[in-house]
Amino acid sequence: MTVKNTSVKNDKLSANGQHGGMPLLHEPKLNKGTAYSVEERRQLGLEGLLPHAVENLDRQVERVMAHLDEKADDLERYTYLIGLEDRNETVFYKTVMSDPKRFIPVLYDPTVADACETFGNNYRRARGMYITRYMKGRMAEVLRNWPEKDVRFICVSTGGRILGLGDIGANGMGIPIGKLQLYTACAAVPPAGLLPVLFDIGTTNETLRADPFYMGTREAPVSEAELDELTEEFIQAVQEVFPNCCVHFEDWKGTDAIRMLDRYKDKILCYNDDIQGTASVALAGIAAGMNITGGKLTEQRVMFLGAGSAGLGIAKLFCAELQTLGLSEAEARKQVALFDINGLIEHSRTDLSDTQKLYARPAKPCKDFLKAIEEFKPTVLIGVSTKARAFTREVIELMSKLNEQPIIFALSNPTHKAECSAEEAYSWSKGKALFAAGVQFPDFEYEGKTYRPGQANNFYIYPAIGLATYACRPTRLNDECFIVAAHATADQVTLTQRAKGMLFPSQEQILETEVTTAARIAEYMFDSGLAQVERPRDIRAWLEAQLYKPQY
């Protein structure tokens, strides 16, 4: 794959009014470290500031790999890599892009959960921006403090619902940082235009508020009305300061997440990865399952354990897909059932949100999950509950009795929150289940056959959405963009991979996968009139010409 180098060059130093010497070695976007040539060291005032040896980028990466091998666990590797990015962005991305299967779980889930829990204790350097209620009336002014003026993506979180950790406030900053790193690591979106933002509205977590090392505001969260007012100012400030920017909402509290997406999706370029990205990757897994079983998507009945923003988002996109295949809205919703802590989502319940009411079934109240499964007879079971081991042996055995090849998704993160493990799904189903989780479980052998569990993680979707958005500059991102992304991902699961029960492509060639998906999304953007740039003759080649490549 041919990609261009979009790294910042040192020959721009004079034009930018910057100088060489020691400050250059502390600028991660520009720093080459020991790769500076003898002549560059003379010209840039670096003589004597570096060891004598001149190394190439590959040798620098070798040293990094050796350091990583010495670390005791992935949290230590995460900390090391974050420090590396602070010193030399090129070496950082060269390293993580050289082996994405190894480094995705280090930079993101599940390691990032541990990193977020200790964020304040391990804080070393500001990364991204922190917006608080005390900036009310001045948010545009504050955003202008960011040195990069052509910001193309802002990933913004309140820290209100981080993975399975709940409300961790400002400690949630690790999520926007990690999400944006994967834009580049998985889909080669140029990193210069990526801005992580922690929207610090306070936290309900009293333990954190009492922690002397906590980095956020120490108040309870603002009211819903004040949050809406602050968010509106933030959104308008982004439109003013970064007019080409896509806002990526991430890990807001469920009700806030749904409300903000509904409010802004038709007004600005934005999306919510917890809702739309999760829905798209789940739809990809179901579509890949149909490629294995030969079933029809319109005949699938999907039951959710969990009825928050993730479950509702998957249900919405699944129903939207069924409608494109000819079902009415009412017929599509009949194919979905949701079950939460208070039981089946059905018409008699008075505790439902407006969105939940759309999926309320005309059924009797039921608080027995097994009974609900037996009555609904789902072909697909999706866990988004954060309730560990909720998919018991009885649940898996019942799904296996109802279906020749049940699709079981235990999507809750981190690992200890998963509804079941791969080993449990395969052994209890006697090898019948098509299984995926939000984290990567190891291969499992059952009766002489090796099964490779899928990882239904959003990194298959949102970086490709990001690349297509970066290149096409669409006016909006609609549901169809995420449906296209889902099918493009499912179509890349090979026959050999399907034979192992795989529902998602291999991570070894994640860049190739993401560019292929992005090309399909871009084609849809051009066909539908969403794109704001001229359509190229060869969309794939055009995308490849815009990819970031870590090199000096």
Q: What are the structural domain ranges in the chain?
A: 1-55, 110-271, 277-456, 460-545
Residues facing residue 380 across a β-bridge: 302, 407
Q: Has 508 been labeled as part of a binding site?
A: no
Q: How far apart are CA 513 and CA 506, in angstroms?
A: 9
For range 29-49, the mean pLDDT: 96
Q: Are 413 and 164 in contact (CB under 8 A)?
A: yes
Residues 207-239: tens digit of each pLDDT: 999 999 999 999 999 999 999 999 999 999 999
Which is more confident, 168 or 120? 168
* Tokens at 444, concatenated: 């499992």
With both helix axes pointing from N to C terminus, report the angle between 309-324 and 479-490 in degrees, rounded to the nearest 10. 80
Percent of the chain with pLDDT over 70: 96
Q: How confident is the model at residue 99, as a pLDDT? A: 95
Q: How far apart are CA 316 and CA 322, in angstroms?
A: 10
Q: Has 171 been labeled as part of a binding site?
A: no
Q: What is the CA angle 22-24-29, rounded to 5?
A: 150
For range 142-150, the mean pLDDT: 97
Q: How confident is the model at residue 413, as a pLDDT? A: 80
Q: How far apart are CA 50 and CA 33, in angstroms?
A: 8
Task: Please give the single-letter amino acid code of residue 506.
Answer: S
Q: Are 154 and 142 in contact (CB under 8 A)?
A: no
Q: Which residues contact 81 (CB under 8 A, 6 or more apart)?
A: 68, 92, 95, 96, 103, 106, 107
Q: Are 177 and 129 in contact (CB under 8 A)?
A: no
Banded model confidence at residue 7, pLDDT cuts 50, 70, 90:
very low
Q: Would residue 108 show up in a list of annotated catalytic residues for this protein?
A: yes
Please state, rounded to an integer, the average pLDDT across all residues of the chain: 93
Residues 489-537: tens digit of each pLDDT: 999 999 999 998 999 999 999 999 999 999 999 999 999 999 999 999 9
DSSP SS3 for 80: helix
Return the number of other C-beta atoms located less than 10 Å from residue 364's C-beta: 11
Q: Has 457 been labeled as part of a binding site?
A: yes
**Residue 371: closest CA among 303, 282, 421, 435:** 303
Domain 277-456: top CATH class: alpha beta
For residue 175, is pLDDT > 70?
Answer: yes
For residue 6, is pLDDT > 80?
Answer: no
Angular region, 45: left φ>0, alpha ψ -120 to 50, beta rest: left
Q: How confident is the model at residue 126, as a pLDDT? A: 81
Reported pTM: 0.92
Which overall architecture, per CATH, does domain 1-55 show? Up-down Bundle (1.20)
Residues, the chain? 552
CA distances from 543 to 96, 433, 464, 539, 547 (A): 21, 37, 11, 6, 7
CA distances from 224 to 159, 173, 266 (A): 15, 21, 21
Residues 455-493: tens digit of each pLDDT: 999 999 999 999 999 999 999 999 999 999 999 999 999
Q: Would residue 179 show up in a list of annotated catalytic residues for this protein?
A: yes
With both helix axes pointing from N to C terminus, report the angle between 510-528 and 100-107 in degrees, rounded to the nearest 10. 80
Q: Has 10 been labeled as part of a binding site?
A: no
Q: Has 250 been labeled as part of a binding site?
A: yes
* Tokens at 31, concatenated: 């720093």
Q: Which residues contact 130 (CB under 8 A, 6 or more apart)?
A: 170, 173, 197, 198, 200, 216
Q: How confident is the model at residue 113, as a pLDDT? A: 86
Lowest-pLDDT choice from 13-22, 531-540, 543-552: 13-22
Q: How far apart are CA 341 and CA 495, in angstroms?
A: 39
Return the number of other C-beta atoms located less than 10 Å from residue 370's C-beta: 13
Host H or E run for residue 340: strand 336-340
For range 22-34, the mean pLDDT: 95
CA distances from 504 to 165, 217, 288, 438, 488 (A): 26, 40, 7, 12, 11
For range 105-130, the mean pLDDT: 87
Q: Has 228 been labeled as part of a binding site?
A: no
Residues 64-97: tens digit of each pLDDT: 999 999 999 999 999 999 999 999 999 999 999 9
Q: How far apart are CA 436 and CA 454, in angstroms?
A: 4
What's the fold here for domain 110-271?
Answer: Rossmann fold (3.40.50)
* Tokens at 351, concatenated: 């505790």
Residue of 32, 94, 179, 265 marked active site? 179
Residue of 36, 93, 108, 214 marked active site? 108
Q: How confident is the model at residue 1, as a pLDDT? A: 58
Host H or E run for residue 154: strand 153-157
- Is-same-fold flag (110-271; 460-545)? yes
Percent of the chain with pLDDT over 90: 88
Q: What is the CA radius of gyration of the chain?
A: 24
For residue 118, is pLDDT > 50?
Answer: yes
For range 423-447, the mean pLDDT: 94
Banded model confidence at residue 414, pLDDT cuts 50, 70, 90:
confident
For range 375-387, the mean pLDDT: 96
DSSP SS3 for 381: strand
CA distances from 98 to 91, 191, 331, 507 (A): 10, 16, 46, 12
347 — phi, psi (to 5°)? -60, -30
Q: How far apart are CA 430 and CA 448, in angstroms?
A: 12
For residue 5, is pLDDT > 60?
Answer: no
Domain 460-545: top CATH class: alpha beta
* Tokens at 488, concatenated: 């493009």
Cα torsion 341, 346, 351, 355: sign: positive
Residues 326-368: tens digit of each pLDDT: 999 999 999 999 999 999 999 999 999 999 999 999 999 999 9
Q: How confident is the model at residue 19, as a pLDDT? A: 64
Half-sphere exposure of 356 (CA within 13 A, CB side): 23
